[in-house]
């Protein structure tokens, strides 16, 4: 049974078309999320190994897939297994699961709506009183968004904000950050929102959107992890295999 609160993935039709034929195909969903892409794939007969670094989201995905998948297996459906790990460890996970020589690998970068709307994770500026955390896996990651804003040098902050902003905007935001933390620690989402006030942005984009994205990418080493994961993913593909990366941020495209 589908739950209306589950995050619905993008480009599902495109993924299914790109990876076809799917009957008995072995596919790694390296960013399982709440399982939307995996569910669509197993409905078409694929065998999917799902990898997810967020423990809470992994449990959501497991419940969703177990509820949706018929037991005993319905004719035409595939199967799934899920593992808690960062996608940079895709090679180790595939080896441990004896899931090598795959037909396709999928990366859907970013965070889910469930993570964005969580009142305690700090991914979104919709909850000003939330701690500025932003860690995908708090149990294994030590450094939070607040830690970075309070501890990085000026040049490091400029580089961090430069992940999503032009150089002038990065320098402006860095100066605001240095002044703010000199007066009091930056601990909450609302603290960072105040720092972002007045940032010039294009179109109707919220002034905090790109700074928050940059901080999330830095906290979770997303670009470094992607750079590490892609060669491993390619090595897992059998001849003629396919790799797809869904991204909405130009910095991720550069990797």
Q: Check whether residue 146 and residue 100 sit in a common domain.
A: no
Q: Check whether residue 235 and residue 161 sit in a common domain.
A: no
**Average of per-residue pLDDT across 43-72:** 90
**Average of per-residue pLDDT across 121-142:** 88
Distance CA 136, CA 62 (A): 17
Q: Check whether residue 105 and residue 177 sit in a common domain.
A: no
Confidence of residue 2 (pLDDT cuts 50, 70, 90): very low
Distance CA 242, CA 216 (A): 28
Q: Check whether residue 32 and residue 90 sit in a common domain.
A: yes
Q: For residue 72, what pLDDT is reported?
A: 57
Q: Check whether residue 29 and residue 87 sit in a common domain.
A: yes
Q: Does residue 175 lie within any of the structural domains?
A: yes
Instruction: Tell me which residue range forms the domain holding 204.
Output: 142-219
Structure tokens at 114: 């469930």
Which tens digits make up the pLDDT trace of 204-229?
889 999 999 999 999 999 999 999 99
**Average of per-residue pLDDT across 87-108:** 97
Could you identify the residue written with the tokens 């991914």? 123
**Average of per-residue pLDDT across 122-139:** 88
Please check whether residue 83 is in contact with residue 49, taking contact to mean a CB–CB distance below 8 angstroms. yes
Which tens digits make up the pLDDT trace of 9-27?
779 999 999 999 999 999 9
Please check whether residue 141 is in contact with residue 135, taking contact to mean a CB–CB distance below 8 angstroms. yes
pTM, two decimals, is: 0.85
Q: For residue 93, what pLDDT is reported?
A: 98
Q: For residue 51, is pLDDT > 90?
A: yes
**Long-range pairs for 132-137 at CB < 8 Å and ≥24 separation?**
132/186, 132/187, 132/188, 132/189, 132/191, 132/192, 132/215, 134/215, 134/216, 134/219, 134/220, 135/219, 135/220, 136/53, 136/54, 136/86, 136/111, 136/220, 137/53, 137/54, 137/55, 137/86
Q: Does residue 129 lie within any of the structural domains?
A: no
Q: Does residue 134 lie within any of the structural domains?
A: no
Q: For residue 255, what pLDDT is reported?
A: 41
**Residue 202: exposed, middle, or buried by beta-carbon count in 10 A (0-12, 13-18, 19+)?**
exposed
Confidence of residue 248 (pLDDT cuts 50, 70, 90): low
Q: Does residue 7 lie within any of the structural domains?
A: no
Average pLDDT, the chain: 90
Check which CATH number belongs to the domain holding 104 and give it: 3.40.50.150
Q: Quote the number of domains for the chain.
A: 2
Q: Check whether residue 65 and residue 110 sit in a common domain.
A: yes
**Residue 171: exposed, middle, or buried by beta-carbon count in 10 A (0-12, 13-18, 19+)?**
middle
Q: Does residue 100 lie within any of the structural domains?
A: yes
Confidence of residue 251 (pLDDT cuts 50, 70, 90): very low
From 129, 170, 130, 140, select the one nearest 152 (Cα to Cα): 170
Q: Check whether residue 180 and residue 248 sit in a common domain.
A: no
Q: Check whether residue 20 and residue 106 sit in a common domain.
A: yes
Q: Check whether residue 93 and residue 37 sit in a common domain.
A: yes
For the chain, percent of residues with pLDDT exceeding 90 = 75
Distance CA 217, CA 221 (A): 6
Q: Check whether residue 43 and residue 164 sit in a common domain.
A: no
Check which CATH number belongs to the domain holding 171 and give it: 1.10.150.170
Which tens digits make up the pLDDT trace of 142-151?
899 999 999 9
For the chain, percent of residues with pLDDT exceeding 70 = 88
């Amino acid at each position: 049974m589908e739950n209306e609160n589950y995050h619905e993935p993008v480009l599902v039709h495109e993924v299914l078309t790109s990876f076809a034929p799917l009957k008995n195909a072995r596919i790694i969903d390296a960013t399982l999320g709440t399982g939307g892409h995996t569910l669509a794939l197993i409905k078409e007969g694929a065998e999917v190994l799902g990898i997810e670094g967020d423990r809470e989201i992994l449990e959501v995905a497991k419940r969703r897939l177990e509820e949706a998948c018929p037991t005993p297996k319905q004719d035409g459906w595939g199967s799934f297994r899920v593992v808690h790990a960062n996608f940079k460890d895709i090679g180790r996970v595939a080896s441990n699961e004896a899931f090598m020589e795959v037909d396709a690998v999928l990366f859907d970068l970013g965070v889910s709506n469930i993570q964005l709307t969580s009142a305690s994770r700090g991914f979104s500026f919709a909850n000003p009183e939330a701690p500025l955390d932003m860690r995908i896996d708090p149990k294994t990651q030590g450094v939070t968004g607040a830690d970075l804003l309070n501890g990085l040098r000026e040049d490091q902050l400029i580089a961090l904000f430069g992940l999503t902003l032009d150089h002038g905007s990065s320098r402006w935001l860095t100066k605001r950050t240095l002044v703010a933390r000199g007066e009091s620690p930056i601990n909450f989402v609302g603290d960072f929102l105040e720092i972002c006030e007045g940032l010039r942005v294009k179109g109707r984009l919220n002034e905090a959107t790109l700074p928050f994205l940059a901080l999330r990418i830095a906290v979770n080493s997303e670009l470094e992890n992607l750079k590490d994961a892609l060669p491993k993913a390619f090595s897992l593909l059998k001849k003629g295999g396919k790799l797809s990366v869904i991204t909405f941020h130009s910095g991720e495209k550069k990797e």
